[in-house]
Amino acid sequence: MRGKKERSGEEITNNKLYTPFFLIPCVFLWGIPSQFCFFASSKNLNVKTATAMIHNFNAGPSVLPKEVFEQASQAVIDFNNTGLSILEIGHRTTSFEPIMSEARTLVKELMSLDDDHEALFLHGGATTQFMQVPMNLLNENELAAYTDTGTWAVKAIKEAKLFGHVEIAGSSKETNYTTIPKELTVSPTASYLHITTNETIAGTQWKDLPYDCGVPLVADMSSDILSRVLDYNRFDIIYAGAQKNMGAAGVNLVVVNKNVLGKVTRVLPTILDYRNHIKEGSMLNTPPVFAVYVAMLTLRWLKNLGGVAAIEKINNAKAELFYSTLDSLPIFKGIVAKEDRSYMNAVFVMDDPSLEKEFLDLCKQEGMVGVKGHRSVGGFRVSMYNALKYESIVALTDLMKEFTERKG
């Protein structure tokens, strides 16, 4: 059978066996930089070994668990011993239907969702939800409340205005988006309140969620979904692109409380009406099969790790180590208000900006990628998503300390 012959489990095992033999000379040759050992042996290593040597701080698409890569790559070669690649199986088959079903069930389980809430895997990224949410929830002559906490909220607000009226319930624009608004003013007649739980670019995160806002609550959780324990049932719509905490780019998780649907008077295009997706079990049309599979594997990984409570502990440890180091080093400076700092994306600068390039070059040299800040903010941004290992934060903070000593 094609898949089995072309890349068998035996071959992968053989690769693993070769690895130590290529590394042995490197271990004994004093003074040869580790990067050289890596390149000298990389031809003989499988991709898995190479990626393990990189600390991936990318903001998204971003780091994923190694076992997810291994299983996903095996499925591309031969999915579940079918002899077919996951890329060539039909979605309405006994091969794929259980994947979609497990992915949806895992979301409900990991978030402890009640029966009113449905989990959907849709196309179009979080950006599509900027318009799909108001299209489904906001009548033309009605009002939706939005919080303005930065780039992503601004984009969501722009789309909502295409469908109805928008009021700004709270904004951190005046602090250049370095804070989260503490006081909200939400009209009781608003169709919903929209928040961005984690601002990926500004590096802020809501710690006190506005559960008691008095109207349906909608959240863009693209960059902190499943990273911490929240009362997920208190949200009426949650959406998130998968490419940060949940898998590969190409699929969007949308959690919907069925009770908020069916209240708009406009005629909805079939593909944009959440109710049709719910009715069809998230298979209204061809889903992004591979992206859903990777999301399911990532959700399984999270469940095996102990679920959201377990990952929250790890995420807290990473963020606390990072921020305590940042605060202890005089040449680095956090730019976000301490109580609003994101535990997913840390944004910081240097007192002397002329040193920033040197530090970035050093990071690159040490295999740390994605440390450069977003083009609109500058400085640095370190993303610490679920799959980022604690060791990566240890390595980065050690480098920051070393650099400070050298410059101090």
Provide the binding-site residues for ligand PLP, judged by CB under 6 A: 60, 125-127, 152, 196, 200, 220, 222-223, 241
> Considering the complex, what minimum distance in angstroms separates the CB of residue 220 from ligand PLP?
5
| Count of other CB atoms within 10 angstroms of residue 192 | 23
Q: What residues contact residue 151 under an 8 Å CB cut-off, 6+ apart? A: 177, 199, 201, 202, 376
**For ligand PLP, the closer CB: 194 or 329:** 194
> Considering the complex, what minimum distance in angstroms separates the CB of residue 195 from ligand PLP?
11
Contact (CB, 8 A) for 325 and 401:
yes
| Catalytic hit among 148, 152, 206, 372 | 152
* Beta strands at 204-205 and 217-220: parallel, antiparallel or unpaired: unpaired
Residue 85 to residue 288: CA distance in whole angstroms: 14
Can you name the residues that pair with 239 across neighbouring β-strands? 220, 254
φ and ψ at residue 196, rounded to 5 degrees: -105, 105
Has 116 been annotated as catalytic?
Answer: no
Q: What residues contact residue 324 under an 8 Å CB cut-off, 6+ apart? A: none
| Catalytic hit among 78, 148, 206, 220 | 220
Has 301 been annotated as catalytic?
Answer: no
Q: Which two tokens stand for residue 345?
A: 């994306």
Has 244 been annotated as catalytic?
Answer: yes
> Considering the complex, what minimum distance in angstroms separates the CB of residue 205 from ligand PLP?
11
**For ligand PLP, the closer CB: 295 or 399:** 295
**For ligand PLP, the closer CB: 42 or 151:** 151
Residue 152 to residue 148: CA distance in whole angstroms: 9
> Considering the complex, what minimum distance in angstroms separates the CB of residue 125 from ligand PLP?
3
> Considering the complex, what minimum distance in angstroms separates the CB of residue 90 from ligand PLP?
26
3-state secondary structure of 109: helix
**For ligand PLP, the closer CB: 152 or 290:** 152
**For ligand PLP, the closer CB: 199 or 312:** 199
| Catalytic hit among 78, 148, 236, 244 | 244
Which residue numbers are catalytic?
152, 220, 244
